[in-house]
Amino acid sequence: MQLTEKHKEYWQKNLRVTGILLALWFIVTFVIGYFARDLQSITILGFPFPFYMGAQGSLAIYVAIIWYYAHYMNKLDKEYGVHEGDD
Amino acid sequence: MATQSQSQFFASLKRYYSFYTGGFVAFVIIVAILEQMGVPNKVLGYIFLAATVLLYAGIGVMSRTADVSEYYVAGRRVPALFNGMATGADWMSAASFIGMAGTLYLSGYDGLAFVLGWTGGYCLVALLLAPYLRKFGQFTIPDFLGARYGGNIPRSIGVFAAILCSFTYVIAQIYGVGLITSRFTGLEFGVGVFAGLGGILVCSFLGGMRAVTWTQVAQYIILIVAYMIPVVWLSVKHTGNPVPQIAYGYVLEKVTAREVVLNDPTTPDGAKEAEVRAIFKTRQEATEAKLKALEAGGATYLAEEKAKLETAAATLKATKDADPAAVAAADKAVTDFPADAAAAKAAWTKAAAGAKAKTAPIASHAEPFAGKDQAAIDKKRKNFLALVLCLMVGTAALPHILMRYYTTPSVKEARKSVFWSLFFIFLLYFTAPALAVLAKFDVYTLLVGSSFSELPSWVASWAAVDKTLMSVTDINKDGIVQLAEITIGGDLIVLATPEIAGLPYVITGLVAAGGLAAALSTADGLLLTIANALSHDVYYKMIDPHAPTTRRLAISKGLLLVVAVFAAYVTSLKPGDILFLVGAAFSLAASAFFPALALGVFWKRANKWGAILGMSAGLGTCMYYMYMTYPFFGVNAPLWWDINPISAGIFGMPAGVIGVIVGSLLTTAPNKEIQDLVDHVRYPNLEGDIDTKAA
């Protein structure tokens, strides 16, 4: 099978959104984790900020990342005509 | 089946599970009424466990099937929402349900590595694997390796790794099943293991993935209800707010303030704590002195010490009006005295370590990586981040989870389904830290400072059940409970929450049923993965590709039985520590599968030899490091960069990635067919596409 320019563009867009979302995932997990002791003085809803992120904030962001990816890609499939039938 | 459209199917599923949830609530109410009528707790425990296991068996029988696609991938028509629930139950094991809040209670911020690792991994599943595996659309993970890399060697390594990590993990689950059944019914541990095994088998044996899927949805509903009710209640008790996740920030502030008071010897409470810690310090030093003397004097010293105890007991007995309790204690000291030098060394080393643990000030719950100096802090931080990464990548590589995304009707549904999976997992995981803090607040403010003569009833009842879960001893004989006098085992937190919150026993039974659902659902998924790897990948794909359907299914079911019984047998020997087994499974999966799977989708140049080299290097490095450093194996080699054996995957993963890259670049690029396969999985729908779908 031969891939068209449009197909390649679809894949590039997929790679870009995957990369951006993975960067966000990395920041809320590892960057905040690495600097946890330095961020201790910030308070949110009574929680120290790193504890809040570890126990709730980062988790909610993970859920949002996956939701956004599904939403974006399902739309992109249609735009580029690579979506499946309506089953 | 074909007569029903996907949307009708979805509507009827929603109806079934609404009825089911209603029925379950009614059942809990009936048991609550029975309790009020005076039915004993033990009977209530039996009713709960028996009713839920029968329910799962019922679903298993109703979902029995002889169709290959139904058996392996539930007919590929599980809607995103329900696949999300099933994945949630498949995912959340006994360790999540019972152990996690306890780990957080005991280790505060540092325990959040498990919360982060076990949720963040789904980002990798969603972005890097699930949609592509769904498009590929066969039955197992080794299937993908076999097709993408060609030949039987990558498939075989995949089968070996899938069995290794699933088996390690399933032992931990069956252990959890045994623990819960034995605790709530009074059966012996070994009997509990096999009773629970029956529950697992009736379900997966008859209907494979199809039965497991619909049972897991049912199990998810039970486990989430069972987890939430007591926490909400506890939150209302302490904050007046029924949403614990919002309310506990301020409770955490109070806990932190309380920690400061208890650690400050100038306050009355702090002074008492310091007094108890000083007593433990003396005990630790005395025991260490005994160890030293034993080293020098050997058996002679041991005999002298025993003689001293015997004389003391005899003198006490000869005294008029001797206190009977004191006499009993003196006799016990004589009978418990270690028989030989080796036993004495083991017992005293343990006692010294136990006392030493009690001499440290209270660790702050919210402080990350607490340590006495920068080196200790850095070491903790490094291990925290390494563990998070291993758990995340392991999540995205465990075959029993990835397999679930083969069951959705389309790529689109697979993407949505990962969202629902994490959403349902998130509900429990962001509640666990709240539970840990609320329970801690209860212990720090209500239990500490209370009088030994009127302990809260839950303390007495759990101390009677199991001393390792709960024990309080009046060390400084002031009649008041100090924090240092309390020993709590992690599993207690979830198990005792209903009683801490002052709820009736029926909720305790519900929690037990929830824990059982968590352990059974995970064990189901894992056993099926192992049996499928053997029957589908080894037998059908490698030994006899022309085998008729009936024989394939018969072999799969037979293997399931053999594997299950073998796993239960290994579990009944009680090997190793549960948390380590679980962690090991993640590190192994992360090292063996992840590099070959992700690069297989994203790097067309990856080829057969790269996969072979990468998977064996990853798996080999990970296993080698565990073998060398985990105390269970007795080698105890020095750690590499202070990384704990549970995070062995941190070395296995890079070895795997480098292996795939080097191996691929040294050999020729994969042929056109394989490259077309990669394009095939990258696009949900292509004109003139090849077809990899299995019937």
B441 chain-A contacts, CB cut-off 8 A: none
What percent of chain B lies above the pLDDT cut of 70? 97
Question: What are the tens digits of pLDDT across the range B119-156?
Answer: 999 999 999 988 898 888 888 888 888 888 887 888 88
B380 chain-A contacts, CB cut-off 8 A: none
Q: How many CB atoms lie within 10 A of CB A84?
A: 14
* pLDDT band (50, 70, 90) for residue B4: low
Q: Which of B119, B122, B411 sits opposite A84 (nearest CB)?
A: B411
Question: What are the tens digits of pLDDT across the range B389-407?
Answer: 999 999 998 888 888 888 8
* pLDDT band (50, 70, 90) for residue B692: low
| Distance of residue B227 Cα from the nearest chain A Cα, in angstroms | 17
If one compares B637 and B154, the residue with the highest pLDDT of the two is B154
**What is the mean pLDDT of the segment spanning A73-81?**
86
The whole-number pLDDT of residue B124 equals: 92
Query: Contact, B659 vs B595, CB < 8 A?
Result: yes
Look up residue B669 and give its DSSP letter.
P
Look up residue A47 and give its DSSP letter.
E
Buried-exposed string B568-581: b where 16+ CB fall within 10 A, e elsewhere: beebbeeebebebb
- Are B685 and A83 inside 8 Å of each other by CB? yes
User: Which of A17, A34, A51, A79 would best serve as a mutation to test chain B binding (most B beta carbons within 10 A)?
Assistant: A51
The whole-number pLDDT of residue B246 equals: 82
What are A48's strand-pairing partners? A43
- With 50 as the cut, is the pLDDT of residue B377 above it? yes
**Mind spelling out the 3-state secondary structure of B416-451?**
HHHHHHHHHHHHHHCCHHHHHHHHHHHHHHHHCCCE
The whole-number pLDDT of residue A86 equals: 54
Mean confidence (pLDDT) of chain B: 83
The whole-number pLDDT of residue B392 equals: 93
Burial (Cβ within 10 Å: 0-12, 13-18, ≥19) of residue B508: buried
The most distant pair of C-alpha atoms in chain B lies apart, rounded to whole Å, by 101
User: Which of B419, B421, B691 would best serve as a mutation to test chain A binding (most A beta carbons within 10 A)?
Assistant: B419
B392 chain-A contacts, CB cut-off 8 A: 29
Q: How many CB atoms lie within 10 A of CB A3?
A: 14
Q: How many CB atoms lie within 10 A of CB B307?
A: 11
Residues 6+ apart with CB under 8 A from B307: none
Q: Which of B497-501, B538-542, B571-575, B606-610 has the lowest mean pLDDT?
A: B571-575
- With 50 as the cut, is the pLDDT of residue B451 above it? yes
- Are B422 and A66 inside 8 Å of each other by CB? yes
* pLDDT band (50, 70, 90) for residue A87: very low
**What is the mean pLDDT of the segment spanning B665-688?**
82
**B109 CB near a chain A CB, below 8 Å?**
yes
A87 chain-B contacts, CB cut-off 8 A: 6, 409-410
**B392 CB near a chain A CB, below 8 Å?**
yes
Q: Which of B17-26, B324-333, B648-657 has the lowest mean pLDDT?
A: B324-333
Q: Which of residues 663-682 of B touch A (CB under 8 A)?
A: 676, 679, 682
What percent of chain B lies above the pLDDT cut of 90? 8
Residues 6+ apart with CB under 8 A from B48: B31, B184, B509, B510, B512, B513
B112 chain-A contacts, CB cut-off 8 A: 51, 54-55
If one compares A36 and B224, the residue with the highest pLDDT of the two is B224
d(CA B608, CA B596): 10
CB-hemisphere CA count at 13 Å for B168?
21
The whole-number pLDDT of residue B2 equals: 47
- Are A1 and B679 inside 8 Å of each other by CB? yes
| Distance of residue A74 Cα from the nearest chain B Cα, in angstroms | 6
The whole-number pLDDT of residue B1 equals: 44
B250, B255, B260, B265 alpha-carbon torsion, rounded to 10°: 140
- With 50 as the cut, is the pLDDT of residue B318 above it? yes
Q: What number is the ipTM of this complex?
A: 0.92
| A48 sits in which H/E element | strand A47-48
- DSSP-assigned letters across all residues of B453-510: GG--HHHHHHHHH-TTTEEE--TT-SSB--GGGEEE-TTHHHHHHHHHTT--HHHHHH
Q: Which of residues 408-447 of B touch A (CB under 8 A)?
A: 409-412, 415-416, 418-419, 422-423, 426, 429-430, 433-434
pTM, two decimals, is 0.87
